[in-house]
Amino acid sequence: MPVLARIIEAAGIPTVIVTMMPALADKFHATRTLGVEFPFGHAFGMPHDPEMQRAVALAALALYERHPAQPNTPLRVDLAIPWPVEQKVAYKTWQPPEAAPIVRYNQQLAAQAANENA
């Protein structure tokens, strides 16, 4: 994502990256990064929580307004909105009831390798 943002910025279109991995965005010199401590797939907050999603969107817009494009001067802001559900509880709701085929395949490979090394 940060590399794509840099390409878009080079075309003259400003970007703000909202990410759960702000250190990675820093590594790739993203111009504007909004770090969030949310589960993957939920960069703008809880499903069906428009207030939380709006707060993230407004923070991203504020970051854009605060930091006009300047070469070699990236800005990162980490948003202090806590995820309202305990991680262990939330993790169960993020996962589908059945593993995806690629996950099952990788589990089978790992089990097979473990049996061969035993």
Secondary structure of 25-55 as H, E, C letters: HHHCCCCEEEECCCCCCCCCCCCCCHHHHHH
DSSP code of 106? H
CB atoms within 10 A of CB 91: 11
CB atoms within 10 A of CB 82: 7
CA 36/CA 18 separation, integer angstroms: 7
User: Taking the model in full, what pTM does it have?
Assistant: 0.71
**Strand 17-19 to 75-78 pairing:** unpaired
pLDDT in tens, the chain (118 residues): 678 888 888 888 888 999 999 998 888 888 899 999 988 888 999 889 999 999 999 999 999 888 876 666 788 999 999 888 887 777 676 667 777 888 889 899 999 988 988 7
